[in-house]
A = this chain, B = another copy of it.
Amino acid sequence: MLADDVKALVFDVFGTVVDWRSTVIQEGEALARETGVKVDWPRFADEWRRDGYIAGMERIRRGELPWMKVDRLHRRKLDELLVEHGVTGLTEAQIASFNRVWHRLLPWPDAVAGLSRLRERYTIAPLSNGDVALLTNLAKARKLPWDCILSSELFRTFKPDPRVYLGAADLLDQPPSAVMMVAAHVGDLRAARSVGLRTAFVPRPLEWGPGGHVEPSPDPSFDVVATDFVDLAAKLGV
């Protein structure tokens, strides 16, 4: 039975475990109250994510940028965005602190409860393109009950590179078929499945906000589709 064959669950983090968009908007609004700056924070959040992190990783994967930690990738884009959005007058300490909002993103409401249940039966770990330090700080800040921290950084590449999924299974000392990738993104799951991992799709339709990008329907080949992590635990019989 699937639930018995699987020994470890590895989780995409940004969008799947945590609600990056709401947190960035919320902290942006707090910064605006504190400093008087005026910004369209939803747009700012989406651009930071899409054009900073996602596009930055793509450039690293293509060899156009050297490998760098996520903080640096975020900071490069943040500095650009502040100019583009006409934000002036922030201190270096305020900018540096805002750049680290990604270390304290708020979990989706079901996340901690679901992970805690899943952990009773499975080894659970993030498997994110976020780096080890960021994922560790995030876990500490938001009490995410991981058994260990796995990151693409350990393989000096990014998902969906197959080395990330296979490397994670190797570090967990499990065959790929005993490891289940959990993600809100079908591309991540298809890449994991193509090298033998099991897959669980947990859609997060509000990741990009109301009216924002929504992932395509789950691929029929996914092993489990769950509405959230508590439902995932129930579907795996925990």
Residues of A within 8 A of B (CB): 69, 71, 123, 125, 131-137, 139-140, 146-149, 153-154, 171-174
Contact = CB atoms under 8 A, between A and B. Distances in A.
A71 B149 contact: no
A133 B71 contact: no
Contact of A136 (B131, B139, B148): B148
This protein's copies in its complex: 2
Given A136-B147, A139-B147, 12 more contacts: A69-B173, A71-B173, A123-B137, A123-B140, A125-B136, A132-B172, A132-B173, A133-B172, A136-B172, A148-B149, A154-B154, A154-B171
Interface centre among A71, A123, A134, A148 (most CB of B within 10 A): A148
A60 to B, nearest CB: 17
Contacts of A133: 171-174
Nearest to A70: B173
A171 B153 contact: yes
